[in-house]
Amino acid sequence: MSATAESLDFEAEASNIIPLSRFVADFGDGLLEAVTRQNPPVYDGSPDPRRDAVMETLKRKPFPAQREVVQAVTRLLLDQAEHAAVINAEMGTGKTMMAISMAAVLHAEGYRRTLVISPPHLVYKWRREILETVPGARVWILNGPDTLRKLLQLREALRQASSPEGPEFFILGRVRMRMGFHWKPAYAVRRFHVREHTEAGNEHSSTFVRTRRYAACPACGTPVVNSDGDPVPPEMFPEERRLSCGECEEPLWTLIRPGRKRKSRRELVLEAMCQLPTIGPKTAEKLVRTFGEELLSGMLADNVHEFINLMDEDGELVFSDRQAARMERAMANLEFSFGQGGYQPTEFIKRYLPDGYFDLLVVDEGHEYKNEGSAQGQAMGVLANKVRKVLLLTGTLMGGYADDLFYLLWRIMPRRMIEDGYRYNGRGSLGSAAMAFMRDHGILKDIYKESEGSSHRTARGKRMTVRTVKAPGFGPKGITRYVLPFTAFLKLKEIGDNVLPPYREHFQEVTLTTDQAERYQDLESTLTAELKEALRQGDNSLLGVVLNVLLAWPDTCFREEVVKHPRSRQLLAYVPSILGDDPSPKEAEMLRICAEEKAEGRRVLVYTTYTGTRDTSSRLKRLMEAHGLKAAVLRASIDTSRREDWILDQVDRGVDVLVTNPELVKTGLDLLEFPTIVFMQSGYNVYTLQQAARRSWRIGQSLPVDVYFLGYGETAQMACLSLMAKKIAVSQSTSGDMPETGLDVLNQDGDSIEVALAKRLLA
């Protein structure tokens, strides 16, 4: 066949190929009918009137699309008796609202207590939204210094068989939920007296009385004995494990506060007041001198509104209206307590509260618990097995790899995983089960490498090595087995046109200056050659160094770049600083966008991933101020629980641009005041990129949202953006989105971003 004929055949064949999304759109009705016949849905769109009636009693009513999700998930958990469910809803759809509504519906059917695992900076946001939504709700915060006291209260109420009158919610910060706590042995010291002879074995020798000390149970006085039955002296008491009395089972250990000096009440009150906006150390000291720490601590702990309306001896309000408004807003996100505990509540719940004490576990930002060895993930798994039902909330269920789901599924539905043959091996590890899950439902690539072996008499030997690596992708069998039966999906566009404004993404390729381009090409050539030589010698340590430098240098060429080998410290490349105080092309583009948005009365959120060694945030702030923009930088040093209030404080001060690392705001924060977002870099993390891009496109936003991605042409930045787009396509296949082709789901060419970038670089 001629080349022309082959070309025509190929064109004819290509013309018969249509995108999978169009195929589903054209033939979806027939497909849906067939699927419904073979696999009847748990929820067919017919709501339960009783559950709808419960949602009508809420102070804030969920939107119709949110109600549908609540109805579907409730039917799965209650009517189908499943243990766990997932709400995979796009950022800004109101996952918190849906979870609270569902907890209210479950309360009407006998589920009294809800335990919420929350990111630490969202603990008080959860409390605020619960109190604003559920009539008669009581909220316990298990995140502060008095956590142990509250848990002991719960155990005492359990002993008295008292039941809550209304719905109870317990909010547990993710950092607080790690397993374990600090402890020390706790025992009484008893003395006993023994008459002994001065000469051993001679009963006729003179005697004396020897006093011995031994450890005993502080409750019943029974001596602690060793394996030989002999009393244990205090200095020999075992400290490597926690013991209980063999007679009365009293614990022979106690919790301790590790390595901190106890603070006075005055110090605690001063610290508490300094957390409030407009109150600094001097004002706090003045308030304590005037009103006393006892009065102020009582107000802060029990009646914050009395504190806000504090009056002096002349009957004048201490705080102005503006101060009072800001403090009232801040106090919605704070809870003051003056205890000094520091214990991990998960261990207490595991040991001292019965299974089913908490009826529902809500896991916010559930994808954060996917890692194999994560202490937080393991603790979440313990809590999931202590409750009756589990609801996992996420905006990005999967980051591209099948094992992203494996450990998450194991923790919330272990019975199903065991039924499917995924079990601990003889060494107590899930590693082999995770690999089997990857082989069954993900993408594993076996890479064969042939090298010259040792020489034989008649021929040179060949040596074949094989290594297995994972690639992004999750097969349809896995989706139908583990995702669809347990997951309700919700997209922002499904909530309704009247609820959300338009959302637009803009990709803008920026051209390097001539000097930048020449130096970048020299740097790339030098480092690529070094990387090839290192890889040829089996040294992978340069891979991360080279990629990070090539991605970062165009944005950080205002500082000199010194590249050294991470092991030998040999100098590989040096590039002097080439930018002074003038903006680079990308910075100029960002400044143009910010100026235009300011003219339109819109604030801008600028993301930069370089906030550490190659800090760009301070430079960006200087450039913005030099161009007439009022800017602020949100740094990691600002406590997570105070970030929302800190941002609102900057808005009150008239900020035009907020600069931050996307990692700091990727979860939970509603940045409605910043309808324009500019990514100076994308980073490698799909979760972070998707979450950060939607920070201001949320329910309550009234302005159109514009998101800009900036990248330098002819650099590694463009390749990184392209690869991130591919990885996002895979993650969307488990989020209810249909990629353009079926192969996008498998994405067989998809390595990790770093490896894929290296391949492009070395090609």
Instruction: Report domain extents, the chain.
Output: 3-36, 63-181+341-437, 183-255, 265-331, 500-511+584-714, 514-575
Q: Determine the pLDDT at residue 741.
A: 38
Pairing verdict, β 503-510 and 705-712 = parallel
Q: Determine the pLDDT at residue 389.
A: 96
For residue 259, the SS3 value is: coil
What is the rounded average pLDDT of the residues 104-129?
Answer: 89
Q: Determine the pLDDT at residue 706.
A: 93
* Residue 273 to residues 127, 142, 310, 640, Cα–Cα distance (Å): 20, 21, 13, 18
Q: Determine the pLDDT at residue 176.
A: 54
Residue 265 has pLDDT above 80, yes or no: no
- CB 321, CB 313: distance < 8 Å: no
* Identical fold between 63-181+341-437 and 500-511+584-714: yes
Query: pLDDT tens digit string along 52-71?
Result: 999 999 999 999 999 999 99
Distance CA 310, CA 226 (A): 62
Distance CA 260, CA 255 (A): 14
- CB 519, CB 578: distance < 8 Å: yes
HEC letters along 421-460 = CCCCCCCCCCHHHHHHHHHHHCEEEEEEEEEEEEECCCCE
Instruction: Report CA torsion sign: 213, 218, 223, 228.
Output: negative
Distance CA 120, CA 172 (A): 8
CATH code matching the domain that covers 63-181+341-437, chosen among 3.40.50.10810, 3.40.50.300, 3.40.630.10, 3.40.50.1820: 3.40.50.10810
Token duo for residue 692? 């950060």
Indicate the residue type of 610: Y
Phi, psi of 281 (to 5 degrees): -60, -40
Q: Determine the pLDDT at residue 749.
A: 47
- H helices present in 46-146, as ranges: 49-56, 64-74, 95-107, 123-133
Confidence of residue 121 (pLDDT cuts 50, 70, 90): confident
Q: Determine the pLDDT at residue 362.
A: 96
Residue 642 has pLDDT above 70, yes or no: yes
Query: pLDDT tens digit string along 563-600?
Result: 888 888 888 899 998 888 889 999 999 999 999 999 99
What is the rounded average pLDDT of the residues 266-276?
Answer: 81
Residue 110, number of CB atoms within 10 A of its CB? 9
Distance CA 80, CA 649 (A): 47
Query: pLDDT tens digit string along 462-515?
Result: 677 878 777 777 888 888 888 888 999 998 778 865 777 888 888 889 999 999
Distance CA 490, CA 89 (A): 5
Round the average pLDDT of the chain to a whole number and report it.
Answer: 81
Query: pLDDT tens digit string along 16-54?
Result: 677 666 777 777 778 778 877 777 888 888 999 999 999
Query: pLDDT tens digit string along 285-338?
Result: 888 888 887 778 766 754 556 677 777 777 777 888 777 777 766 665 555 544
Q: Determine the pLDDT at residue 747.
A: 40
Q: Which of 746, 110, 150, 180 has its CA nearest to residue 474?
A: 746
Distance CA 296, CA 336 (A): 11
Which of 291-295, 568-572, 622-626, 722-726 holds the top average pLDDT? 622-626
Q: Give domain 500-511+584-714's CATH architecture.
A: 3-Layer(aba) Sandwich (3.40)
Question: Higher model confidence: residue 690 or residue 523?
Answer: 523
Q: Determine the pLDDT at residue 746.
A: 37
Q: Is 240 exposed, middle or buried (0-12, 13-18, 19+ CB in 10 A)?
A: exposed
Q: Determine the pLDDT at residue 210.
A: 73
Token duo for residue 106? 């479950």
Distance CA 447, CA 466 (A): 6
Token duo for residue 537? 């010698």
Query: pLDDT tens digit string along 727-759?
Result: 666 555 555 554 443 333 334 444 555 566 666
Pairing verdict, β 443-455 and 460-471 = antiparallel
Q: Determine the pLDDT at residue 756.
A: 62
Phi, psi of 376 (to 5 degrees): -65, -40
Q: Which of 401, 375, 554 has its CA nearest to residue 470?
A: 401
Distance CA 400, CA 726 (A): 9
Query: pLDDT tens digit string along 68-90?
Result: 999 999 999 999 999 999 999 88
Q: Determine the pLDDT at residue 115.
A: 95
Q: Determine the pLDDT at residue 339.
A: 46
Query: pLDDT tens digit string along 537-570?
Result: 878 888 888 888 888 899 999 888 888 888 888 8
Give the H/E segment covering residue 282. helix 281-291
Pairing verdict, β 84-89 and 487-490 = parallel
Residue 352 has pLDDT above 70, yes or no: yes
Token duo for residue 741? 């082709």
**% of the chain with per-residue pLDDT over 90:** 26
For residue 21, the SS3 value is: helix
